[in-house]
Amino acid sequence: MTSHDPRPSAGGWRGWREAVREGVRLWFAPARLRAEGETPDYRFSLANERTFLAWLRTALALIGGGFAVDQFLPDQDRPLRTLLAVALLIGGALCALRAVNHWLRCERAMRRGEDLPVSRFPTVLALAVGVLSVLMVLVVAFGWAS
Amino acid sequence: MAWRRTTLTCAVVGVLAGRQALVGGSRPVAILAVALIALLWLAFLAVAQRRIQAMGVPRPRALSPRAAMAAAWCTVVLGALGAGVLR
């Protein structure tokens, strides 16, 4: 979630502080979102909602992957297996939180008529999943069996 | 369709989580974990069902922030619960 580029309007420390304050406000008083700006075309909101759900499914897939690692690699060393499973579970939880955060920020940007927020999260997630996959292939192929 | 697909994914993950909890036998803690997982899935299903019904009009309103938060927190809690039932 911290991988977002909030693009603060004012530069420097004050801009970041304002961006954090806005983020907190968005999370703890999300209903105020509807008081901002103008209601966008409903098709845009529905597209944003579908993207949110796609990210939520990604989060669920990561969590399911965590369970799968723990259940279907029983011959592997326990600490290593648990580490992989916990990494996937944490990744899934972060992905779900990021999904709702990004949905809120996109919705707010659309209501205000601003550009949509850009994010490095997809790149970070892709790299993390790639590294974990290679690690799992190595673990399965070369052992560390208990 | 997107909500149904997501509810289905949640159900599959819930089944895997339930299986995980019951691997070590049906102890009281395991039964409690399975009950919590079932409750979480039911909560997700309720959010999805409400949203599907709200979309059955020509110009549906945007998803409410509360529903989005509820769906996301169900996923996060499922993950946290999963970490608790790892072997």
pLDDT in tens, A117-132: 888 889 999 999 999 8
Mean pLDDT value across residues B63-85: 87
Residue carrying the six token digits 């909101």: A45
Q: What is the pLDDT of residue A30?
A: 66
Is the minimum CB–CB distance between A64 and chain B shorter than 8 Å?
Answer: yes
Phi and psi dihedrals of A11, rounded to 5?
-80, 175
Is the minimum CB–CB distance between A54 and chain B shorter than 8 Å?
Answer: yes
What range defines the domain where residue A112 resides?
12-142
Mean pLDDT value across residues B62-83: 87
pLDDT in tens, B8-33: 999 999 998 888 888 777 788 888 88
What range defines the domain where residue B7 resides?
2-84
Q: What is the pLDDT of residue A4?
A: 47
Cross-chain residue pair A53–B10, CB shorter than 8 Å: no
Cross-chain residue pair B72–A104, CB shorter than 8 Å: no
Q: What is the pLDDT of residue A22?
A: 75
Is the minimum CB–CB distance between B29 and chain A shorter than 8 Å?
Answer: no
Type and span of the H or E element at B32: helix B28-54
pLDDT band at residue A5 using 50, 70 and 90 as cut-offs: very low
A7 falls within a domain: no
> What single-letter DSSP state applies at residue A76?
B
A6 falls within a domain: no
| Number of compact structural domains in chain A | 1
Q: Which tokens hold the place of B49?
A: 């069902």
Q: What is the pLDDT of residue A128?
A: 92
Type and span of the H or E element at B84: helix B65-84
